[in-house]
Amino acid sequence: MKNTTPSGTGNPIDRVEGHLKVRGMAKYASEFPVSGKVYAQAINSTIAKGEITAIDTSEAEKQEGVIEIITYKNAEKLKRYDEELPSLLPDVIQPVLQSPKVHYYGEYVGLVVAETFEQAQYAARLVRFEYRTEEPRIHLDRQRSDAYKPEESSDYSRGDVAAGMAEADEKVEVTYHTPIEHHHPMELHAIIASWENGEVKAYASQQMIDNAAITIANTFQIPKEKVRVIAPYVGGGFGSKLHAKQHVILAIMAARKIGRPVQLTVTRQQMFTNTNFRQQNEQKMQLGAKKDGTLTALVHETLSHTSTYEEYQESCGTVSKMLYKVPNNKVSHRLVPLNLQTPFAMRAPGEATGSFALESAIDELAWKLKMDPIEFRIKNDTQTDPSNNKPFSSRLLTECLRIGADKFGWERRKMKPGAQQEGNWLIGYGVSGASRAAPYRETSSKVKLELKGGKVYATIQMDATDIGTGSYTIITQTASEYLDIPVDQVSVELGDSLFPVTPGSGGSWGAASYANGARVACMNAIRELNQKLNTDEDLSIQALLEKNELSSYETTGTAKPSEAFKKHSVYSFGANFAEVWVDKDTGMYRIKRMVNVGACGKILNPKTAFGQIIGGLTMGAGMVIAEQSRIEPKYGNFITRSFADYHVPVNLDLANIDVVFLPEEDKIANEMGVKGIGELGITSVAASIANAIFNATGKRMRDLPITPEKLIMAEPEPDAI
């Protein structure tokens, strides 16, 4: 084994693609200068349920530049779902424009293709649709009697929760609400699609290249080998780009129909209606504990919704199964089919919303027990995953809480709400634990070595994506480390389905999977070059090539989870501390500072890792202060339909953020000890802020987002004043 070079993993090097991005030279999907390309604009339904009864394209057809108008009447026939309510998985088919039926407001009902973007946009406005409208079902609350149990794994229980509750000295029985939220990555969803000799080529903003290729292949019923997906740079996804959505299919369909490359960019408004969202959840919690803080029972029941044509379930209750040692535990999920598009994974699906409910309820119970919420959590900490009795590969939750408390100055917190004041401000401290599975998936990579001017240059290729997270940088650092060459002799090529297959970016597995995939390829190269020489001398990669009399060499490698990995529960853990100042009169509040501590294995690059946590914290702050997509109760459309009314946090909303990573070696997680960071940050923000607001005001805010209007109307808990 070679020594780590100064530019290897663990060093805070700058992003290797940073200069390209700053100069606008990193190409995103809609920026490729494909010759002969034309522009498409998708048209959305303006009813939430019903059927198209007439379409008039005559006015639109007359417009200058218009090439084609596609509706269900003339659309290519695509593969249909084999079953009713198929699971929306990242590789599921995406039929579109196949029938006159409308399932939700904003569903694509047509597409206009024109020579220019402006022409397509304008003509799209002129296509007239008539509908037979039915009463849409869009109220989770009113439609709750339609709730069904989605699949076996949606329910879980251990012990006897009734007995556990009976045993408890203090109980909490409360319900938490979280609204629909939208992913809204900075880069709009986009594609440039073309057909050549029966093959599809798509520059598309996708997080997972292989899944996108599978979806396209299966929807058009062609072999996957005939689909090329290219996404060297992706401007964020947050889950919304995990799979190829209908606009991808629309553009490819149009390109085939007119025989020219077609560019289709989803508008910001359409990103409310056509690129999925995080669903609304109602989470009913029951917790019981003995006087000494021993948890006796924990029930977490979630009601949420799916669409009327696909099924997606976000497991809010997962966190309640595994985070604390509690003998009696019950978790369930129920879904109501609604006339909305299918919800889909958004940053920390399940954990972000589930942790808000669990970690708020834990705070509520700690208050009833008159126990410090940190001590209460530590009292119920465990090194064994109670949901499956597997040991955790490494779990530093207690350490995160203790070290965070120290950094934050938790000892200054008064248990009694409202005890800290300054002028018109009520000051509160809150804490929340954080947890997020640290998955790791089979990943392949190619390494190409070249000896030039006495130096070895390496190129790593894989179909991985960099969605703004830093994949290019950490893969570069990994290759630099394992080949023992400086980073500037490594180049990394990503986001092309011609490259070896990876799981793509999602689920917090990217860094671990990509780094290990690159590592195995590099180690294979060294081993193979050694074998050729029949030596076990510790030679540099340059010496290996020279002795082999090779000026270049290439090989591949595949990393996979080990047997030990499968025998453990592998998670990242953390804790978030928040100081919140609440105006005593106006309902406005400020997040003054946060301290976030994470134990997430080896930190490949502190800069990119900080970026991930800060991004997660910011998105978490958004969940609490303002993010919500509101549905018009009669028409079923989102009335929040631009960034002017869908509020995400601004710089001023986030004052001081201190991020701490605990050193953690977890070789069970994977050989490099890398665990997920991308989603950990978001999981603990909402509860820590809601708990701080309680500490400031005595008000329990159980309904996100916590807006001034809700805060001003809320009453303090009777026992808190």
Contact status, residue 704 vs residue 356, Cβ threshold 8 Å: yes
Contact status, residue 300 vs residue 282, Cβ threshold 8 Å: no
Smallest distance from another protein to CB 653, Å: 5
Q: Which of 25, 498, 533, 712 binds another protein (CB under 8 A)?
A: 712
- Residue closer to another protein, measured from CB, 2 or 592: 592
Interaction between residue 125 and another protein (CB under 8 A): yes
CA pair distance 625, 653, nearest whole angstrom: 9
Smallest distance from another protein to CB 709, Å: 4
Q: Which of 2, 21, 256, 590 binds another protein (CB under 8 A)?
A: 590
Rg (CA), the chain: 27
| DSSP β-bridge partners for residue 114 | 39, 66
Smallest distance from another protein to CB 291, Å: 39
Stretch that binds another protein, among 3-11, 16-24, 166-174, 705-713 (CB under 8 A): 705-713
> What is the total residue count of the chain?
721
Interaction between residue 133 and another protein (CB under 8 A): no
Look up residue 588 and give its two tokens: 């406005």
Interaction between residue 633 and another protein (CB under 8 A): yes
Name the one residue in this structure whose structure tokens are 């007239």.
Answer: 128
| DSSP β-bridge partners for residue 201 | 194, 228
Smallest distance from another protein to CB 652, Å: 4
Where would I find the beta strands (DSSP E) of 413-454? 420-422, 425-437, 443-452
Q: Which of 83, 292, 709, 719 binds another protein (CB under 8 A)?
A: 709
How far, CA to CA in Å, does 700 sit from each of 501, 622, 658? 47, 18, 26
Stretch that binds another protein, among 348-356, 555-563, 647-655, 683-691 (CB under 8 A): 647-655
CA pair distance 678, 654, nearest whole angstrom: 19
CB atoms within 10 A of CB 291: 11
Contacts of 153 (CB under 8 A, 6+ apart): none
Contact status, residue 420 vs residue 427, Cβ threshold 8 Å: yes
Interaction between residue 166 and another protein (CB under 8 A): no
- Residue closer to another protein, measured from CB, 383 or 586: 586
Q: Which among 310, 311, 364, 679 is annotated as catalytic?
A: 679
- Residue closer to another protein, measured from CB, 279 or 707: 707
Smallest distance from another protein to CB 507, Å: 29
- Residue closer to another protein, measured from CB, 118 or 196: 118
Interaction between residue 177 and another protein (CB under 8 A): no
Interaction between residue 424 and another protein (CB under 8 A): yes
Q: State the SS3 of 250-286.
A: HHHHHHHHHCCCEEEECCCCHHHHCCCCECCEEEEEE
How far, CA to CA in Å, does 196 sit from each of 71, 200, 256, 676? 23, 7, 9, 39
Interface with another protein (CB under 8 A), residue total: 36
CA pair distance 482, 523, nearest whole angstrom: 7
Stretch that binds another protein, among 215-223, 358-366, 408-416, 700-708 (CB under 8 A): 700-708
Under DSSP, is residue 674 helix (H, G, I), strand (E, B) or coil?
Answer: strand
Under DSSP, is residue 298 helix (H, G, I), strand (E, B) or coil?
Answer: strand
How far, CA to CA in Å, does 157 sit from each of 153, 313, 386, 660? 11, 18, 11, 35
Instruction: For strands 490-493 and 455-461, give the pairing.
Output: parallel
Interaction between residue 131 and another protein (CB under 8 A): no
Instruction: For strands 295-306 and 328-337, give the pairing.
Output: parallel
Q: Which of 73, 142, 414, 634 binds another protein (CB under 8 A)?
A: 634
Q: Which of 91, 399, 496, 653 binds another protein (CB under 8 A)?
A: 653
Question: What's the CA angle centered on 46, arms 42 and 52, to 5 degrees?
Answer: 85
Question: What's the CA angle centered on 432, arms 427 and 437, to 5 degrees?
Answer: 155
Interaction between residue 488 and another protein (CB under 8 A): no
- Residue closer to another protein, measured from CB, 431 or 621: 621
How far, CA to CA in Å, does 54 sit from each of 72, 109, 122, 128? 11, 12, 20, 8
Stretch that binds another protein, among 6-14, 81-89, 374-382, 623-631 (CB under 8 A): 623-631
CA pair distance 323, 571, nearest whole angstrom: 10
Torsion of CA 157, 159, 162, 166, to 10 degrees: -140
CA pair distance 183, 235, nearest whole angstrom: 12
Interaction between residue 54 and another protein (CB under 8 A): no
Q: Which of 23, 652, 718, 719 binds another protein (CB under 8 A)?
A: 652
Smallest distance from another protein to CB 47, Å: 8
Interaction between residue 640 and another protein (CB under 8 A): yes
Contact status, residue 340 vs residue 635, Cβ threshold 8 Å: no
Of residues 34-53, which lie at the interface with another protein (CB under 8 A)?
Answer: 46
Stretch that binds another protein, among 163-171, 426-434, 631-639, 675-683 (CB under 8 A): 631-639
CA pair distance 339, 636, nearest whole angstrom: 8
Smallest distance from another protein to CB 544, Å: 55
Cis peptide before 12, with omega less than 30 degrees from 0?
A: no
Contacts of 262 (CB under 8 A, 6+ apart): 37, 38, 39, 40, 113, 192, 193, 194, 251, 252, 254, 255
Contact status, residue 179 vs residue 300, Cβ threshold 8 Å: no
Interaction between residue 620 and another protein (CB under 8 A): no
x/- track of binding to another protein for residues 352-371 (CB under 8 A): --------------------
Smallest distance from another protein to CB 641, Å: 7
Stretch that binds another protein, among 227-235, 338-346, 474-482, 703-711 (CB under 8 A): 703-711
- Residue closer to another protein, measured from CB, 41 or 477: 41
Interaction between residue 639 and another protein (CB under 8 A): yes
Stretch that binds another protein, among 118-126, 156-164, 178-186, 485-493 (CB under 8 A): 118-126
From the DSSP assignment, how many helices (H) and strands (E) are in the chain? 19, 24
Interaction between residue 280 and another protein (CB under 8 A): no
Stretch that binds another protein, among 107-115, 402-410, 549-557, 708-716 (CB under 8 A): 708-716
Looking at residue 325, its amino acid is K
- Residue closer to another protein, measured from CB, 323 or 617: 617
Interaction between residue 708 and another protein (CB under 8 A): yes
Smallest distance from another protein to CB 704, Å: 12
- Residue closer to another protein, measured from CB, 310 or 627: 627
x/- track of binding to another protein for residues 78-117 (CB under 8 A): ----------------------------------------
Interaction between residue 130 and another protein (CB under 8 A): no
- Residue closer to another protein, measured from CB, 11 or 637: 637
- Residue closer to another protein, measured from CB, 21 or 590: 590
First to last CA, the chain: 63
Sign of the CA dihedral 673, 677, 683, 686? positive
Contacts of 235 (CB under 8 A, 6+ apart): 28, 185, 186, 187, 205, 467, 468
Q: Which of 325, 647, 671, 720 binds another protein (CB under 8 A)?
A: 647
- Residue closer to another protein, measured from CB, 3 or 651: 651
Q: Is 679 a catalytic residue?
A: yes
Catalytic residue numbers read: 679
Give residues in contact with another protein (CB under 8 A). 46, 118, 121-122, 125, 424, 585-588, 590, 625-626, 630, 632-635, 637, 639-641, 644-645, 647, 649-650, 652-653, 705, 707-710, 712-713
